[in-house]
Amino acid sequence: MEIKAYGAEEEVIRAIRELGMNDQVIVFSFYYPVLAKIRKFDKDIPIST
Confirm whether 1 is domain-assigned.
no
Task: Give the domain range for residue 30.
Answer: 9-48
Whether 3 is covered by a domain: the verdict is no
Is residue 38 assigned to a domain?
A: yes
Cα separation of 14 and 31, whole Å?
20
User: Is 30 inside any structural domain?
Assistant: yes
14 in helix, strand or coil? helix
pLDDT at site 40? 93
Q: What is the arithmetic mean of pLDDT over 25-48?
A: 93
- Does 43 reside within a domain? yes
pTM for this model (two decimals): 0.80
Question: How many folded domains does the chain comprise?
Answer: 1
Residue 32 lies in a domain: yes
Residue 13 in any domain: the answer is yes
Q: Confirm whether 20 is domain-assigned.
A: yes
pLDDT range class, residue 43, cuts 50, 70, 90: very high
